[in-house]
Structure 1
Amino acid sequence: MPSPAEAPAPRPALRLVLVDDHEMVLHGLTAMLAHFSDQVVIAGTATTYDQALALVDRTRPDVVLCDVRLGRTSGIDLCQAITTAYPEVSVVLLSVYDDEHYLFQALRVGARGYILKRVDAAELVTHLQRACDGETVVDPALAGRVALSAARIHAGEFWPGAHLGLTQRESEVLELLVAGRSNRAIASTLVISEDTVKTHLRGLYRKLEVTDRAGAVSVALREGIFR
């Protein structure tokens, strides 16, 4: 056995920022992680998009643990803002949504992980450490479906509308458009802002060579993209 002098130095505690629009959740996470204070130190908490960005700028944590939904804004949008402005900061999304749809959104904007809220404290600490080590951490409940989706993409089964140049997100917006959803409903379903929805609409209008929602729906139905 190695002598104490040869034992590896203990890992420094991670500096963590918690973001959730419910104070009760923040208190619960803080209490849960208090038992692991030698591994995780909470640098601050925030309940809004703007508070979170200001806190990250001020504290420069190792990792941000953020809810997917933040009231009228989105944890997905916050993740993108953080990873763009502070690429050295790892972002892990925490969610109640057991759906790979949200996971793919998170990974597309640079998230280091997507964890379900049923995770226990010890598992959460391990996930955060792995994310800071550069790994992409996916909740085990979603891992199988992610592998299946990756296999389908590898086999050439791309998203509807890809042959017309639509991105996957534009395809998702178009599908909801065909279903008659409003911009607000689309934003809520995809966990993005209404401004982001409008940006995607402009993109798909241009690619489909139409000028409005009715035109986009007409092309989608005519081309058999969605029925």
Structure 2
Amino acid sequence: MEAEEEAVAVPTRSGPTRIVMADDHEMVLHGVQAMLAHFADEVEVVGTATDLAGAISVVRETSPDIVLCDIRLGRDSGLDLCRRVKQLQPETHVVFLTVYDDEQYAYQALRAEASGYVLKRVDGSELVEHLQRVVAGDVVIDPTLAGRIAMSAARVNAGEFWPGARLGLTQRESEVLALLVASHSNKGIAAKLVVSEDTVKTHIRGLYRKLAVSDRGGAIAVALREGLYQ
């Protein structure tokens, strides 16, 4: 187990909002930097990284106002980066800039204490506006997802949601996890849900990724620990 990291205070600053960017595609980093360069009076990119370790190192060195990152960082997770940043520098905001148009990922981001979830289709002026709102204390969700998230919240309040939703699982992934807990094989799960074994494997890979585990035992342990199934 990693030693708990000591939080570092971020000093109060004036001037442009200071940003660290983390994305596993160099082309994306260069493209967003070029886009933000047109707004130099408002935002400044003070560092970039392509993986979790590199991002943490840059954050330690620069103490940015915002970390702008993708959900996936190659073999690493942007969600893990978010948690590490909030542990290390609680005053630093984390905003996800991603192609994943999925409210479940947005839920996971918010659970990790992110301050925003924005899709990469955003233009420069919109992105800067979102970042300035985050610095002012708002939580920003891409308008494309906001309506779906509101509907999901309404279903939660009405008691119509499924076990695992709060962990970012889809309804089908939750059904598969329940059958894993009940010790069904992939073949048995496929028969129960009337789908192919390949489809079952796809759902299992998805729930492993979202639960940050690598095998059935880990998935079952998370399910039981979180009280999803008895």
Structure-2-length-normalised TM-score: 0.74
How far the C-alpha of 1:45 sits from its partner, in A, is 0.2
The structure 2 residue matched to 1:186, chosen from 177, 201, 206, is 206
- Counterpart of 1:134 in structure 2 is 137
- Counterpart of 2:197 in structure 1 is none
- Which secondary structure state, in structure 2, belongs to the residue aligned with residue 115 of structure 1? strand
Cα pair distance change 1:118/1:193, threshold 3 Å: same
CA contact (8 A) 2:99 2:120 kept: yes
- Counterpart of 1:54 in structure 2 is 57
The structure 1 residue matched to 2:221, chosen from 196, 202, 215, is 202
- What whole-Å deviation, never above 9, does each CA across 1:202-225 have from its counterpart, x for those lacking one? 1324678xxxxxxx8xx8xxxxxx
- Counterpart of 2:31 in structure 1 is 28
Cα pair distance change 1:206/1:62, threshold 3 Å: closer
- Which secondary structure state, in structure 2, belongs to the residue aligned with residue 92 of structure 1? strand
The more displaced of 171-180 and 117-126 is 171-180
How far the C-alpha of 1:185 sits from its partner, in A, is 1.7
- Counterpart of 1:168 in structure 2 is 166
Identity %: 48
Residue type at the aligned position of 1:150: A
- Counterpart of 2:162 in structure 1 is 159
- Counterpart of 1:41 in structure 2 is 44
- The count of aligned residue pairs is 195
How far the C-alpha of 1:157 sits from its partner, in A, is 2.3
CA contact (8 A) 2:86 2:92 kept: yes
- Which secondary structure state, in structure 1, belongs to the residue aligned with residue 44 of structure 2? strand
- What whole-Å deviation, never above 9, does each CA across 1:108-136 have from its counterpart, x for those lacking one? 11000000000000000010111111111
Alpha-carbon separation, structure 2, partners of 1:43 and 1:118: 23
- Which secondary structure state, in structure 2, belongs to the residue aligned with residue 91 of structure 1? strand
Alpha-carbon separation, structure 2, partners of 1:13 and 1:197: 47
- Counterpart of 1:86 in structure 2 is 89
- Which secondary structure state, in structure 2, belongs to the residue aligned with residue 42 of structure 1? strand
CA contact (8 A) 1:19 1:48 kept: yes
Alpha-carbon separation, structure 1, partners of 2:113 and 2:144: 20
The more displaced of 147-156 and 85-94 is 147-156
How far the C-alpha of 1:189 sits from its partner, in A, is 5.1
- What whole-Å deviation, never above 9, does each CA across 1:37-61 have from its counterpart, x for those lacking one? 1111111000000000111111100
Cα pair distance change 1:170/1:122, threshold 3 Å: closer
Cα pair distance change 1:139/1:97, threshold 3 Å: same
Alpha-carbon separation, structure 2, partners of 1:135 and 1:102: 19
Residue type at the aligned position of 2:220: L
Alpha-carbon separation, structure 2, partners of 1:14 and 1:126: 11
- Which secondary structure state, in structure 2, belongs to the residue aligned with residue 87 of structure 1? coil
The more displaced of 78-87 and 178-187 is 178-187
Residue type at the aligned position of 1:154: N
- Which secondary structure state, in structure 2, belongs to the residue aligned with residue 181 of structure 1? helix
RMSD: 2.9
Structure 2 residue runs of 5 or longer lacking an equivalent are 1-13, 180-188, 190-199
